[in-house]
A and B are shown apart, each in its own frame.
Chain A
Amino acid sequence: MACKSHYVDECYAELKQFIEKLPTQKGALIAVLHKAQGIFGFLPEEVQDFVAKELHINPAEVYGVVSFYSFFTMTPKGDTPISICLGTACYVKGAEDIVAEIKEHINLDVGQVSEDGKFSLDAVRCVGACSLAPVVLIKDKVYGRLKKGEIKSILDGYMKGESHENN
């Protein structure tokens, strides 16, 4: 995440450059939003307005897509965003227990950002890794086949400033 503040002109410049380099703007909305969230960390109204303007579509359409996909968020994330999959396979494999464990361990509910801004927790639908169920995404890393208790030690690793598997 190159940019944390949506007031920074360079963030917009970077996004604009990305849009300008697209082979076609038609149908590029999701890719642009993905990039935008990568740059800004989240998608506040101003960023969505900017995307709408640049892609010559209306903000309602942008908002419709942003609100449809649970990946996109309009609220700021923690430094270490956690996404837990609550899709069918993960759910059956005990994803809800992991949510409870996280809450117990770092006092964080789905949709919240921790007070120190370090962690945020989101529930997502299927991430396309059902064979690894239950799945948790932390930053860009996928943790699969989690067993009871494992999430706690993974989070401890992040709390110490390193990931579980030292990468």
Chain B
Amino acid sequence: MKITLDGKILSIDKKMTILELCRDNNIEIPTLCHMDMFSREDAGKNASCRLCMVEVRGKLVPSCATDIFDGMEIITKNDHIFEARKMVLDLIVSDHPLDCMTCEVAGDCKLQDYCYDYDVKGTTYPGEENHFEIDFSNKFFYRELDKCILCKRCVNVCNEFQASEALTVANRGFESKIAVEYDRGMGDSAVCVNCGNCVSVCPVGALVPKSKVKFRAWETKKIPTTCSYCGVGCQMNLVVKGNTVVDVEPLNGAANKNLLCVKGKFGYKFIDHPDRLTTPLIRKNGKLEEASWDEAYELIASKYRDAMSEVGPSAFAGLASARCTNEDNYLFQKMVRAIFKTNSVDHCARLCHASTVSGLAATFGSGAMTNSIDEISETDVIFVTGSNTTETHPVIGSRIRQAVKKGAKLIVADPRRIGLFDNAAVGMQIKPGTNIALLNGLMHVIVENNLQDREFVAARTNGVEELYELLKSYTPERVAKICGIEADDIVKAALLFGKADKASVFYAMGVTQHATGTQGVMSIANLAMLTGNVGRSGTGVNPLRGQNNVQGACDLGGLPNTYPGYQKVIIPEVKSKFEKAWNVTGLSDKIGLTVTEITQEIYDKKIKFLYIMGENPMVSDPNLDHVEEAFNRLDFLVVQDIFLTETAALADVVLPATSFAEKEGTFTNTERRIQRVRKAVNAPGEAKADWTILSELMTKMGYETHYDSVDDIMDEIATVTPIYGGVSFKRLESESLAWPVKDFNHKGTKFLHEGEFARGKGEFKPAEYVEPKELPTEEYPMILTTGRILHHYHTRSMTGRVEGIDELYPESFIEIHPEDAAKLGIKEGEMVKVTSRRGAIETKTLITDRVALGLVFMPFHFAVGAANRLTSSTHLDPIAKIPELKVSAVRIEKI
């Protein structure tokens, strides 16, 4: 196409709008309603503000909604256009307060900027004005509709991208306004999830975050970083005034594409919380007292020497952290291995995806998410099982809903009627712990209908015959009975999945946290291989990792059986490689202990010295009564954290660490993407970055370390970790890399197992359905399943200190079906006693039919009324050692 743009002749060969063409040619066009988030096809979907007008053959056209065509002559600047745009602004300000001098967003307001550009001092159309009460009902932001210019960006981001569909334009004409259902307050909507994406896209001051600090845009600086909540790895700017984070803005990251959830957007307020640890603490006469770093280091070093000489390496264990950076975790496991001479280093990945690592390693050869998050948009059928995605990985939940809006079909299987059921073509409310039966049932129907990918199976896998044999007995009728669902739904789901060109599976702890977790994961792998849905874009087996850096903590060797990069500790060549690289002798060649085993060995007084970095097992681990008793039996407990957590409160030495906003480093998200964490503010008091603490302490303990900065650590990681072989801080400045990154020329890996599985041929691992360890009995007639909720993160050490979040969800609760509640005579909000074979707690009831009859659900976040006082630490998956956190038999009593 030949296009004339402001007199310049251009040759363009792709479809685009005039606005896109102008931007490509560095011509600035003013826009208010336009959003870059819309795809090309939807570019002009909104087109309501009329500010982006340009001239085509003497006529004004909105550039955002007009496609270019051959021979088009476009003029972007002349008096006619200037006056037209000026009139648009004039009309907008006719019903907009001109209080810029006190407006919170002055300096960050597009209307203000354009009025300046177009010399609009006020309106020439004085008349009626709208006056609304300011709506403060939402905990995180307020709505000042007088300032709203009805650009509908908020409605679009909420409906099309966040896909919550909470916002609408209510009324008509002059009375039009942005509203939630029934014009309730923004905080009173039953649909809104407080993600704040509407606030982020508001071009004026109509939707404004509630902030304790008054700030002007020009007083702030913006530091791009990675969100520290959950494994999605959203990219965002921390907006900083002085030494305080005052706001967060979403960035166009590979995974989040300009979206954030409530935790990412508003959950930063823990950073400068007065509860932050600011000095080391040492227990003296039973009480934790402030101490100097030297004192703390000396004490740890001397306790280390004592335990080593008295008992030896078996006296030690360490818990690494899925919240700390890759560099922190690398140094941590290096300390445990090179100084404590043991492989007993683990972290809470054991409690979430240990069975993924074992299950996928056995079938595919690599235990990570096979495909990237962005590929959700190209998949035809998405099967979500055992993942409450919209709450636990909110932005991935939104990406799935976006895909469904674009025509993808969604299959959901979960014991609770989770949010995604509303978007599902088939939703199956299965009994907890029946995943394997369901997966076998789906494969039974697929084989029955000859929908398996014979070519893929023949060329790329082993062992399908055995699977065929096993599947025979898993008829839809039998499976329906086991799972408590309709046989028809199984058939419908299987046909959808089997017929899809590109199908992908997303799962989380609903599959993994079972005594048969590994088999559950293997069954998912079987389904994907059977249908040829691995090793291609838009397909895959996608375990959604929980914490921000749980992937990285595993990658960098925070596991008892592997060095960084999943290099096995039992292989002599690997051991000698690390002995050489670390300049030590005598690394252990034995597989170390897992989290649950460590607790047991402490209980048995075999482990004397435990070092915990950024974990809170006193809330997160199963059977808390047992954990507490064990920790009380320790000779020496070091806890390194940013708050005095329930676990830190039991420690002999507490070391104050820095939050993600105060340090440099990298997190690896659930799709294996290695992303930068950048320092935005100074740490409080004497707190130090985890890697600094570890590095200094290692020297004190006699292992000389020297790292000038955190990128030195990444350089060392790259030399010993083949999957991180080509990673450097320098590259991460301009590139987005997902491992394996083999060398400095390798661009990283979007999806795994292309052409060949990591282990060569894919291995079918047929698994029979086995009942959960605990079933309802007369004494414990109900089944408790645990999980997470949107607003809280892990053990609440951070989110519990965020105003708003803690007001909304301050305490432990239990979801119970209305009929069960009626049977027990329990009313909404009443306290009940919940007892399992491990212990008893008191908690508040929430009556809802989200849970099935006989099932109750509790979030595990809360230390008081803790769900994990009820869960078992002994019903373990024999391979992965993950406890069966999803199924505990309980009794509920009215208090």
Q: Is the C-beta of A67 less than 8 angstroms from some C-beta in chain B? A: yes
Query: What chain B residues lie within 8 Å of A59 (beta carbons)?
Result: 181-182, 190-191
Q: Which of A48, A58, A69 contacts B165 (CB 8 A)?
A: A58
B179 within 8 A of A: yes
Q: Contacts of A62 on B, CB cut-off 8 Å? A: 181
Q: How far is it, in angstroms, between the C-alpha of A69 and the C-alpha of B181 when the chains are bound?
A: 15
Which residue from A45, A48, A64 sits with its C-beta under 8 Å from B170?
A: A64
Chain A contacts for B170, CB-based, 8 A: 63-64, 67-68
Closest to B158 in A: A60
Known A-B contacts A45-B182, A48-B181, A48-B182; the reply to A60 vs B167 at CB < 8 A is yes
As a 0/1 sequence over residues 35 to 62 of chain A, the CB contacts with chain B under 8 angstroms (1 = contact) are: 0000000000100100000001111111
Residue B495, interface by CB 8 Å: no
Which residues of the partner chain A approach B182 to less than 8 Å between Cβ atoms? 45, 48, 59, 63, 74
By a CB distance below 8 angstroms, the chain A residues around B181 are: 45, 48, 58-60, 62-63
- What is the bound-complex CA distance between A97 and B712, given in angstroms? 84
**In this assembly, does B169 line the interface, its C-beta being within 8 Å of a C-beta of chain A?**
yes
Which chain A residue shows the least CB distance to B175? A67
Q: How far is the CB of A37 from chain B (nearest CB, A)?
A: 16
**B584 CB to closest chain A CB, in angstroms?**
60
Among residues 59 to 100 in chain A, which have CB atoms less than 8 Å away from a CB atom of chain B?
Answer: 59-64, 67-70, 74
B168→A64 contact, CB < 8 A: yes
In the complex, A58 Cα to B419 Cα: how many Å?
A: 13
The interface residues of chain B lying within 8 Å CB-to-CB of A58 are: 165-166, 181, 191
With both chains docked as a complex, state the minimum distance between the C-beta of A139 and any C-beta of chain B, in angstroms.
Answer: 24
Complex CA gap A67/B172 in Å reads 8
Smallest CB gap from B167: residue in A: A60
Which residues from B are CB-within-8-Å of A45?
A: 181-182
Chain B residue contacts of A67, Cβ below 8 A: 170-172, 179, 183
Most buried by B among A45, A48, A64, A69: A64
User: What 0/1 readout, one digit per residue, does chain A (81-121) give for beta carbons within 8 Å of chain B?
Assistant: 00000000000000000000000000000000000000000
Residues of B within 8 A of A61 (CB): 165, 168
- Distance in angstroms from A116 CB to nearest chain B CB is 28
Q: B169 contacts A64, CB within 8 Å?
A: yes
Q: Which residues of chain B come closer than 8 Å to A69, judged between CB atoms? A: 172
The chain B residue with its CB closest to the CB of A68 is B172
What residues on A are CB-neighbors of B180 within 8 Å? 60
- Contact yes or no, A60 B422, CB < 8 A: no
Query: Contact check: which of A63, A70, A74 meets B168 at CB < 8 Å?
Result: A63
Question: C-beta contact mask, A15-33 vs B, less than 8 Å → 1, else 0?
Answer: 0000000000000000000
Complex formed: what's the CA distance from A68 to B179 in Å? 12
Whether A56 and B422, one on each chain, are in contact in the complex, defined by CB atoms closer than 8 angstroms, is: yes
Least CB distance, A124 to chain B, in whole angstroms: 12
Report the separation of the CA atoms of residues A69 and B173 in the bound assembly, to the nearest whole angstrom: 11
Q: Of all chain B residues, which has the CB nearest A44?
A: B182
In the complex, chain B residues 136-191 whose Cβ is within 8 Å of any chain A Cβ: 165-172, 179-183, 189-191
With beta carbons under 8 angstroms apart, the residue of B167, B171, B422 that contacts A68 is B171
Q: What is the chain A residue whose CB lies nearest that of B191?
A: A58
> For residue B183, which residues in chain A have a CB less than 8 angstroms away from its CB?
63, 67
- B848 → chain A, closest Cβ, in Å? 15
List the B residue with the shortest CB-CB distance to A58.
B165
Closest to A125 in B: B172
Bound-complex Cα distance A70 to B172 (A):
9
Complex Cα distance, B182 from A58, in Å, reads 12
| A59 to B180 CA separation, bound complex (whole angstroms) | 8
Which residue among B169, B179, B182 has the maximum number of chain A CB atoms within 10 Å of its CB? B182
Complex interface bits, B182-204 against A, C-beta within 8 A gives 1, otherwise 0 = 11000001110000000000000
Bound complex: CA A45 to CA B189 (Å): 12
A48 and B190 CA atoms in complex are apart in Å by 13
| Chain B proximity of A143: nearest CB distance (Å) | 25
B181's closest neighbor in chain A, by CB? A59
Contacts of B179 in A (CB 8 A): 60, 63-64, 67
Residues in B with CB closer than 8 Å to A57 are: 165
In the complex, the chain B residue whose C-beta lies closest to that of A45 is: B182
Which residues of the partner chain B approach A60 to less than 8 Å between Cβ atoms?
165-168, 179-181, 189, 191
Instruction: Report the minimum CB–CB distance from B559 to chain A (whole Å).
Output: 43
Alpha-carbon gap, A135 to B246, bound state (A): 57
Q: How far is the CA of A68 from the CA of B171 in the complex (A)?
A: 4
Q: B170: nearest residue on chain A (CB-CB)?
A: A67
Give the distance in Å from the alpha carbon of A58 to the alpha carbon of B189 in the complex: 11
Nearest Cβ distance between residue A91 and chain B, in whole angstroms? 14
Residues from chain A with Cβ under 8 Å of B168 in the complex = 60-61, 63-64
Residue interface bits A126-149, CB-to-B below 8 A is 1, else 0 = 000000000000000000000000
A134 to B167, CA, bound (A): 37
Max count, chain B CB within 10 A of own CB: residue among A60, A63, A67, A69:
A60
Q: Kindly supply a per-residue 1/0 record for chain B positions 623-666, scoring 1 wherever the CB is within 8 Å of any chain A CB and 0 otherwise.
A: 00000000000000000000000000000000000000000000
In the complex, the chain B residue whose C-beta lies closest to that of A62 is: B181
| Cβ–Cβ < 8 Å partners of B167 in chain A | 60
B334-376 at interface with A (beta carbon < 8 Å): none
Q: How far is the CB of A3 from chain B (nearest CB, A)?
A: 21
How far is it, in angstroms, between the C-alpha of A59 and the C-alpha of B165 when the chains are bound?
9
CA–CA, A61 to B189, complex, Å?
13
A69 to B172 Cα, complex, angstroms: 8
| Neighbouring B residues of A63 by C-beta, 8 Å | 168, 170, 179, 181-183
Chain B residues in 8 Å Cβ range of A64: 168-170, 179
Give the docked Cα–Cα distance between A70 and B190 (Å).
25
Give complex CA distance A68, B169 in Å: 9
B191: chain A residues at CB < 8 Å are 58-60
- A123 and B190 alpha carbons, distance in the complex (Å): 31
CA–CA, A135 and B179, complex, Å? 32
Give Cα A62 to B169, complex, Å. Answer: 11
CB distance from B334 to the nearest CB of A (A): 51
In the docked arrangement, what's the CA distance between A67 and B179, Å?
Answer: 10
Residues of chain A contacted by B171 (CB below 8 angstroms): 67-68
Q: Output the least CB separation between B260 and chain A (Å).
A: 21
B190 to chain A: closest residue by CB: A59
What is the distance, in angstroms, from B784's C-beta to the closest C-beta of chain A?
29
- CB of A97, distance to nearest CB on chain B (Å): 23
Q: How far is the CB of A32 from chain B (nearest CB, A)?
A: 16
Residues of A with C-beta under 8 A to B189: 60
Q: Which residue of B lies closest to A61 (CB)?
A: B168
Compute how far the CA of A45 lies from the CA of B182 in the bound complex, rounded to whole angstroms: 7
List residues of chain B with CB within 8 A of the CB of A74. 182
CA distance A82 to B286 in the complex (A): 80
* Bound form: Cα–Cα A45–B166 in Å: 15
B70, chain A: closest CB distance, angstroms: 35
Question: Roughly how many angstroms separate A45 CA and B183 CA in the complex, as a whole number?
Answer: 10
Chain B's nearest CB lies how many Å from the CB of A56?
7
Tell me the complex Cα distance, A60–B422, Å.
15
Residues of A within 8 A of B190 (CB): 59
* Chain A residues, CB < 8 A from B166: 58, 60
Question: Which residue from chain A places its CB closest to the CB of B176 in the assembled complex?
Answer: A68
**Min CB distance, B197 to chain A, in Å?**
15
Closest chain A CB from B163 CB (angstroms): 10
Distance of A67 Cα from B180 Cα, bound (Å):
12
Q: Please report the C-alpha to C-alpha distance between residue A45 and residue B179 in the assembled complex, in whole angstroms.
A: 14
Bound complex: CA A57 to CA B163 (Å): 11
State the Cβ distance, A75 to closest chain B Cβ, in Å. 12
Complex CA gap A29/B753 in Å reads 46
Give the distance to chain A from B407, nearest Cβ to Cβ, in Å.
Answer: 13
The answer for the CA separation of A46 and B422 in the assembled complex, in Å, is 19
- In the assembled complex, 8 residue pairs joining A and B whose CB atoms fall closer than 8 Å, in A order, are A48-B181, A58-B181, A60-B167, A60-B179, A62-B181, A67-B170, A67-B171, A67-B179
A-B CB proximity, top 7 nearest: A64-B168, A59-B181, A58-B165, A60-B168, A67-B170, A60-B181, A63-B181
Residues of B at under 8 Å CB distance from A? 165-172, 179-183, 189-191, 422
Known: A45-B182, A63-B179, A68-B172. 12 other contacts (CB 8 A): A45-B181, A48-B181, A59-B181, A60-B166, A63-B182, A64-B168, A67-B171, A67-B179, A67-B183, A68-B170, A70-B172, A74-B182
